Structures are given as structure tokens and as C-alpha cells.
Amino acid sequence: MSDSMINASLRQLSAALAEKKISSVELTTLFLDRIAQLNPSLNAFIATDREKSLAQARAADAAPQPCGALHGIPLAHKDIFCTEGWRTSCGSKMLENFIAPYDATVVEKFKAAGMVTLGKLNMDEFAMGSSNETSYFGAVKNPWDVSRVPGGSSGGSAAAISARLAPAATGTDTGGSIRQPAALCGLTGLKPTYGVVSRYGMIAFASSLDQAGPMAKSAEDCALLLNAMAGFDPRDSTSLERPAEDYARDLNQPLAGLRIGLPGEFFGAGMDDDVRATVEVALDEYRKLGAVTVDISLPNSGLSVPAYYVIAPAEASSNLSRFDGVRYGYRAPEYGDLNDMYAKTRAQGFGAEVKRRILIGTYVLSHGYYDAYYLKAQKIRRLIAVDFSDAFKKCDVIMGPASPSVAFAFGAKSADPVQMYLSDIYTISTNLAGLPGMSIPCGFGNNNMPVGLQIIGNWFDEARMLNVAHQYQQMTDWHTQMPEGMR
């Protein structure tokens, strides 16, 4: 029973719970036992509370029938979401002992759907990183090869699902932080259109780019999770007021006539040969499904990394100014006066990558540099959005690699920040444009490491993207593969 349950889809788990083949308590216990057994070697979870989780599971079992599609199913939250009564650290010493007094809207919505919280997941500090090496709580290991990174910043979420420590998890994506770890760990991750999922209670990194999204084994699972996550929230000024929609409604539509745009800029130099070959095979599979490929251009996409690394640090320097040792979070134990307390608290509480981005952000926003850097980056951002808008006149979805390489070894890029930043070269442009994007597993590259295929949709076209991903997953079994050492 345990093997079938850890590999089951959310729909299968829902059916098993509804038919009383398993209880929520039994299912939650199964995953908690796997966390206890396997997490020490992976470091994916940084907070668990067996009693809290089982109390939620008992409440789910006691609820009157019938229940919703996600009722009684366990999931885990990236530690960027405030979760009432749980430590919410954002992977930082600054918030090491912060217990959230309220739930983020995303957490609230999953609670309302009857889901059970398994714990909080490790992440790059304040979501700043592409490898999960910047966490104060130590790096997360990739379940396919523990000598390699899982990607970041949602690396804990990706590793937990890949190792079957959780059937689903929340993630956040500022420049690729759902899609890149999903690609490196062989699972499905979706970044919705900016504003579709509330950011209330999600600790801010770069407010105009951050977006929460679901991570799971399959597109169908992500559709069910997005149904619960999405919706207008008056507490978030960037939340969009739109009619509710069923993101699973088009999953079974055939793909005949689908136009797939292939940007020349995504298939040029910089992509490893093993990734290129695997993506090409996936595109052939789509042609067999009746789709046609169209060559398109995104001429300004090469500017996305430099534009992002002006805009994101600028917003981060502003958002992180609240962590000053006065109200909550870490405070330096010894200091002279108030200014000394600020300086020592921030010097001791933040890690190197966070400090680097705060310094860059403060610089580009300073007098004399705002016009030269920040304003120009915002203009480039607009050009990137226009490129996508033009491209979608010729195609329905855009495809390419989610990451230029498979998972790399620990330390391979940590000495060179620019090399690390280039890990997100194919994902950043969608955040700058506010578009939805997802990564699905499409095979294996060098050293038998997973490769992710990226699907980018037009604004608010999540249902079509999920349909495109689901149809591929009906024809292939890459999304069902599980790391050998995690069985």
C-alpha cells in the first residue's frame, strides 16, 4: 500500500480517501515517517511538527462527506509562506526564531480545502539563489544525486516531491525559482500569471516579480492545486479581480493544430548538448500529438538577466529594510547605539548573497544612478513584454529548455555569482513580462540527471498550458520516474 500511495497522483489519493481505502491520518503518517527516514540525507524540510500535522489529519477524517478534491491530502509549504504557529524563517538567520502569527492567503486557501500541512521546506535565503546553497540551514541535496544541487530557490519543495516526502508543495518564482528546481529534480512546477495567486503573507523579495505557484509530480496535480490557490485577495494590492476558473477543464483536449513557438534565442549557445538533445526529442513527441512548431524571435530576451539583476535587487533592498532588529527577528546581542544595532544586526543576520543584492539594489536606486540603471531596466522590461506579445500572434505556447544544464555539483558556481545568475537565463524573461510559465520533466541528460521542458503561455492562459503538459504526460512516463536511492 505504501509504495502505491507515495507514487499516487492527487486524484488517486483523493479517490482512496473518499472510498475509505486509507485515512488522512494513515496517509499523513506515511509521509511523516518517510520524512523522518530520508530527510536527514536531503535537508529538504527545516520544520516539522508531527502532532500538529496529525491533528489536522484527524480533523480532515472527521469532516462530513462529501469533501473537495484535495481534502485530507498532505502537502508542504516553502518556508517563505507565513504559517500560523509554525516557524517561518525564509531560510535566514534573520528569521530563525520567528513564529508566524497568521497564515498567508495561500496557506489559508489550502487549509480551507482540507489539506494537511506536513511542514516547512528549506529554500535559498530570502529566495535569493538558484541552487539552494545560500540557506542558513544548509544546502538541500538533489535526490537523484546527493552530490548535486536541487536548484533554487524552491529547492526544498522540489527535493521533497522528487523523493516522495510529500505529494505536493508550494513554491515561489521570482526569476525561475519554481521552474528551474522542478527541471533539475524531475517534476512539474507552474508559475502562474502575475497577480493570479495572492502574495499576502508571502515574505517579499521583489514585489513586482514574486509569484506563488504549485509544484507536484504532474500537470493534472498542478491544475488541482492551482484551483485551490488562485483567486482575488483584497489584502494584496497586486492581486487581480478575475472570475474563478477551473484550470483542469481543458486537460483532455487534443493538441491537433497547436502552434508551438521556438525562440531562436533559447536554442543558441549556452545550452548544454544533452539538454538540447532531450528537448528536441520532447518537441518531436509534440509533433506526433498533432502540434506544429513555428520559429519565433524574442530579440530582447538576452537583456533579461541584466535587467532582472537591476530590478530585483532594487526591490529587495527596499523590502528587506524592515529587518532591522527593532520589531521582530534577529537582533545583534552587543551594540553601542541605535545605528550600531542596525549595522550589526544586518551584518550578522543576512548571508553573503542577500547582502550582495541589498548593496546592488541600494546602489541602483541611489541619487545619480536611478535614471542610469533602474529606469533603463524598466524600459527593457517593457520591450521584453512587447516581444512576447508579438510572438503570441504567431503561436499558442512557447517552448524551450527550463535550465541550460542538468543539476550541477555543489560549489561549481558559488564562487562566480554571474555564472550562477545565468542558470535562470531561460526563465527570467517570463517574470519580467508577468507571464505564466511551467517546467515538465522530459527525459534525462548527462549522469542520468533530469531535464525540464519549459512551456510559456500567454497572459492568463494557464489552462491551455496545463492541457499541453498533460497531453504530453499521457504519452510519456518521465513525470512518474523516481530517484533510485529514495525507494
- DSSP assignments along 385-437, one per residue: HHHHHHHTTT-SEEEEESSSSSPPBTTSSTT-HHHHHGGGTTTHHHHHHT--E
CA dist., res. 90 & res. 137, Å (int): 10
Residue 51: the pLDDT is: 97
Residue 1: the pLDDT is: 52
Residue 270: the pLDDT is: 87
DSSP state of 146: T
CA angle 166, 168, 174 (to 5 degrees): 120
Q: Which residues make Cβ contacts (< 8 Å) with residue 404, sequence separation at least 6?
A: 270, 271, 272, 275, 422, 423, 425, 426
| Nearest C-alpha neighbor of 239 from the set 249, 230, 226, 228 | 230
> 2-258+440-448+462-486, what's its fold?
Amidase signature (AS) enzymes (3.90.1300)
Residue 366 C-alpha cell reads as 541611489
Instruction: Decide: 227 and 213 in contact? Cβ < 8 Å.
Output: no
| Nearest C-alpha neighbor of 77 from the set 136, 139, 160, 10 | 160
Residue 42: the pLDDT is: 98
The beta strand positions in 183-306, using DSSP E, are 188-191, 211-216, 259-263, 292-296
Instruction: Decide: 315 and 202 in contact? Cβ < 8 Å.
Output: no
Residue 368: the pLDDT is: 87
Alpha helices in 201-295 (DSSP H): 219-229, 273-288
- Residues assigned a catalytic role: 78, 153, 177
The per-residue pLDDT string of the chain (487 residues; one tens digit each, 9 = 90 and over) reads 567 899 999 999 999 999 999 999 999 999 999 999 999 999 999 999 999 999 999 999 999 988 999 999 999 999 999 999 999 999 999 999 999 999 999 999 999 999 999 999 999 999 999 999 999 999 999 999 999 999 989 999 999 999 999 999 999 999 999 999 999 999 999 999 999 999 999 999 999 999 999 999 999 999 999 999 999 999 999 999 999 999 999 999 999 999 999 999 999 888 999 999 999 999 999 999 999 999 999 999 999 999 999 999 999 999 999 999 999 999 999 999 999 999 999 999 999 999 999 999 999 999 889 999 999 999 999 999 999 999 999 999 999 999 999 999 999 998 888 888 888 999 999 999 999 999 999 999 999 999 999 999 999 999 999 999 999 999 999 999 999 888 7
Within a 13 Å sphere around the CA of 328, how many CA atoms are in the beta-carbon half?
11
CA dist., res. 371 & res. 393, Å (int): 33
Q: Is 37 exposed, middle or buried (0-12, 13-18, 19+ CB in 10 A)?
A: exposed
Q: Which residues make Cβ contacts (< 8 Å) with residue 224, sequence separation at least 6?
A: 10, 11, 69, 70, 248
Residue 171 C-alpha cell reads as 513554491
Residue 419: the pLDDT is: 86
| Nearest C-alpha neighbor of 175 from the set 414, 384, 485 | 384
**Polymer length of the chain:** 487
CA dist., res. 223 & res. 229, Å (int): 10
Bond into 153 cis (ω within 30):
yes
CA dist., res. 219 & res. 188, Å (int): 6
CA dist., res. 318 & res. 204, Å (int): 10
Q: Which pTM value belongs to this model?
A: 0.96
Residue 54: the pLDDT is: 98
Tell whether the torsion through CA atoms of 347, 208, 192 and 435 is positive or negative. negative
Pairing of strands 397-401, 292-296: unpaired
Q: Is 269 exposed, middle or buried (0-12, 13-18, 19+ CB in 10 A)?
A: exposed
| Nearest C-alpha neighbor of 3 from the set 34, 32, 25 | 34
Estimate the crossing angle of helix 462-475 against helix 273-288, to 10 degrees. 90
CA dist., res. 307 & res. 315, Å (int): 13
Estimate the crossing angle of helix 50-62 against helix 24-42, to 10 degrees. 160
